[in-house]
């Protein structure tokens, strides 16, 4: 067991007394890699610093939001100026309207949107909205895709040929996942057969257009197009969960990158520049079903919070700068090629990348479906995580997450990351 640094270890022991598992979200507990989590004191640019002031190159980036890096001046200044005007009103404000206008101007599938406070709220609301709009109950999701901790979506494939799902968490009644179907990501045949069988009852198909929660798995050519064609044919709402990919893989998200426009889009992460946010939006005729206009209820005390909206506006405006996305693409390519250059007989694996999000899979030489990712060498990943940490590189503490680059990650940062991987690879392959 790798022991944490003195101060982090002490804080972790204290935190465990008042916070379940010592963390406010399970993945932060490092269960997949062992050891005790670092307590982060501050972030700056491409780095985080622990409570003892040690710096680490950060590829978690708060799980995706920090596309500008930590504490970018434009966002911090905007938030510092906004807070004294009031930190919440529970009333409409000009800024949240401006954010909605900006988002609908960028994301092709969004004519109208609602702001919420997390990705989970966004997907939960999108599912209820789709059910209210179609009058149907079933929802189809994909194996390996994660959409937040929505009861109906915490589901795993049922046994055998049964197409029904089983809860993937305690506390979720079977009745809550009984309307959830599960297809294979990048497996059009599985989608086609489930839609054919259930088309009369199917309200929505929800998908991460780029799977980011089994590590990065890009859509196979034609996969998203097939989903669009099948859902359009049977009047099923196509939901793109772009909580990760929105503003990350292109200014207009994955729907711009792949040229497929869904009926409803879920957003989060980058949209709030690191502050708590989510959003769901889509075709006006669908969004018009929401209260107070229509019968689908959805609400939120803190939705459109003025400080959060300020951070979001500052972030999206910074992403308007010319050359931003080619720069993110170049950084991602540089890291991908560097990591691939180290892979070989000593350390086998592959790198999947879309833009500035990528995953190094240790073991499998090809990952085009979640089951391939599940073949990753988890013990070796744990050694890789701690080996890189010891060399000053902070990676997501799970083999099934994405590394995120920001505009603050320099060429030197990327070169240092590749060098650290090469150094660890030499050491690990000589020992194992």
Which of 269, 325, 331, 377 is an active site residue?
Answer: 269
Q: Using the rule CB under 6 A, which residue among 241, 263, 336, 413 binds ligand KE4? A: 241
Is 325 annotated as catalytic? Answer: no
Which of 58, 143, 241, 263 is an active site residue?
Answer: 241
Is 269 annotated as catalytic? Answer: yes
| Residue 268 near ligand KE4 by CB under 6 A | yes
| Residue 249 near ligand KE4 by CB under 6 A | no
User: Going residue by residue from 103 to 142, which x/- string records binding to ligand KE4, judged by CB under 6 A?
Assistant: ---------------xxx--x-------------------
Q: Which is nearer to ligand KE4, 312 or 420 (CB)?
A: 312
Binding to ligand KE4, residues 195-214 (CB under 6 A): 208, 212-213
Shortest gap between Cβ of 149 and ligand KE4 (angstroms)?
7
Shortest gap between Cβ of 160 and ligand KE4 (angstroms)?
28
- Separation CA 138–CA 200 (nearest Å): 9
Binding to ligand KE4, residues 389-428 (CB under 6 A): 401
Q: Using the rule CB under 6 A, which residue among 25, 159, 301, 430 binds ligand KE4? A: 25
Q: Which is nearer to ligand KE4, 148 or 167 (CB)?
A: 148
Shortest gap between Cβ of 257 and ligand KE4 (angstroms)?
15
Shortest gap between Cβ of 162 and ligand KE4 (angstroms)?
26
Shortest gap between Cβ of 276 and ligand KE4 (angstroms)?
8
Q: Which is nearer to ligand KE4, 16 or 348 (CB)?
A: 16
| Residue 255 near ligand KE4 by CB under 6 A | no
Shortest gap between Cβ of 398 and ligand KE4 (angstroms)?
8
| Residue 355 near ligand KE4 by CB under 6 A | no
**SS3 letters across the chain:** CCCCCHHHHHHHHHHHHHCHHHCCCHHHHCCCCCCCCCCEEEEEECEEEECCCCEEEECCHHHCCCCCCECCHHHHHHHHHHHHHCCCCCCCCHHHHHHHHHHHHHCCCCCEEEEECCHHHHHHHHHHHHHHHHCCCEEEEECCCCCCCCHHHCEEECCCCCCCEEECCCCCCHHHHCCEEEECCCCHHHHHHHHHHHCCCEEEEEECCCECCCCCECCCCCHHHHHHHHHHHCCCEEEEECCCCECCCECCHHHHHHCCCCCEEEEEHHHHCCCCCEEEEECHHHHCCECCCCCECCCCCCCCCHHHHHHHHHHHHHCCCCCHHHHHHHHHHHHHHHHHHHCCCCCCEEEEEECCEEEEEECCCCCCCHHHHHCCCHHHHHHHHHHHHHCCEECCCCCCCCEECCCCCCHHHHHHHHHHHHHHHHHHHHHC
Shortest gap between Cβ of 213 and ligand KE4 (angstroms)?
5
| Residue 247 near ligand KE4 by CB under 6 A | no
Which residue of the chain is nearest ligand KE4 when measured via CB? 119
Which of 146, 258, 325, 394 is an active site residue?
Answer: 146
Residues in binding contact with ligand KE4, number by CB under 6 A: 19
| Contacts (Cβ under 8 Å, ≥6 apart) of 73 | none
| Residue 215 near ligand KE4 by CB under 6 A | no
Shortest gap between Cβ of 142 and ligand KE4 (angstroms)?
11
CA 56 distance to own-chain centroid: 22
Q: Which is nearer to ligand KE4, 120 or 180 (CB)?
A: 120
User: Strand pairing of 393-394 and 55-58?
Assistant: parallel
- Separation CA 171–CA 149 (nearest Å): 12
| Residue 147 near ligand KE4 by CB under 6 A | yes
| Residue 146 near ligand KE4 by CB under 6 A | yes
Q: Using the rule CB under 6 A, which residue among 63, 142, 185, 404 binds ligand KE4? A: 63
Q: How is the beta sheet containing 349-354 ordered, strand by strand? A: 349-354, 357-362, 403-404
Q: How is the beta sheet containing 393-394 ordered, strand by strand? A: 40-44, 47-50, 55-58, 393-394
Binding to ligand KE4, residues 270-329 (CB under 6 A): 278
Q: Which residues are catalytic?
A: 146, 241, 269
Residues that bind ligand KE4 (CB under 6 A): 25, 27, 63, 118-120, 123, 146-148, 208, 212-213, 241, 243-244, 268, 278, 401
């Amino acid at each position: 067991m790798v022991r944490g640094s003195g101060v982090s270890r002490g804080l972790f022991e204290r935190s465990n007394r008042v916070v379940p598992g010592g963390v406010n979200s399970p993945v932060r507990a490092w269960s997949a890699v062992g050891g005790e989590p670092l307590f982060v004191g501050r972030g700056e640019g491409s780095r985080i610093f622990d409570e003892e002031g040690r710096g680490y190159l950060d590829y978690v980036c708060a799980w995706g939001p920090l596309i500008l890096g930590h504490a970018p001046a434009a966002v911090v200044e905007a938030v510092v100026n906004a807070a004294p005007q009031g930190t919440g009103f529970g009333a409409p404000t000009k800024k949240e309207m401006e954010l909605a206008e900006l988002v609908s101007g960028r994301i092709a599938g969004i004519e109208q949107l609602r702001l919420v406070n997390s990705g989970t709220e966004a997907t939960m609301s999108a599912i209820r909205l789709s059910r209210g709009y179609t009058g149907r109950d079933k929802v189809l999701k994909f194996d390996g895709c994660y959409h937040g901790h929505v009861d109906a979506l915490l589901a795993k494939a049922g046994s055998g040929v049964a197409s029904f799902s089983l809860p993937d968490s305690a506390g979720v009644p079977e009745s809550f996942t009984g309307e959830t179907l599960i297809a294979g990501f990048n497996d059009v045949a599985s989608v086609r057969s489930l839609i054919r069988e259930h088309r009369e009852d199917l309200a929505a198909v929800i998908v991460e257009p780029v799977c980011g929660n089994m590590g990065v798995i890009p859509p196979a050519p034609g996969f998203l197009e097939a989903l669009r064609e099948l859902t359009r044919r049977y009047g099923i709402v196509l939901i793109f969960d772009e909580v990760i990919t929105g503003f990350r893989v292109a200014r207009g998200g994955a729907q711009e990158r792949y040229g497929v426009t869904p009926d409803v889009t879920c957003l989060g992460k980058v949209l709030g520049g690191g502050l708590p946010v989510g959003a769901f939006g889509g075709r006006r005729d669908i969004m018009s079903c929401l209260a107070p206009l229509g019968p689908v209820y959805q609400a939120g005390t803190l939705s459109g919070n003025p400080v959060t909206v300020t951070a979001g506006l500052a972030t999206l405006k910074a992403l308007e700068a010319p050359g931003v996305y080619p720069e993110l693409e170049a950084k991602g390519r540089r890291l991908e090629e560097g990591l691939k250059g180290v892979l070989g007989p000593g350390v086998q694996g592959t790198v999947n990348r879309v833009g500035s999000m990528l995953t190094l899979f240790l073991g499998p030489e090809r990952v085009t479906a979640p089951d391939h990712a599940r073949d990753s060498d988890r013990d070796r990943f744990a050694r890789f995580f701690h080996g890189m940490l010891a060399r000053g590189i902070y990676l997501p503490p799970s083999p099934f997450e994405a590394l995120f680059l920001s505009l603050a990650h320099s060429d030197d940062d990327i070169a240092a990351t590749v060098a650290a991987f090469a150094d660890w690879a030499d050491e690990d392959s000589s020992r194992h």
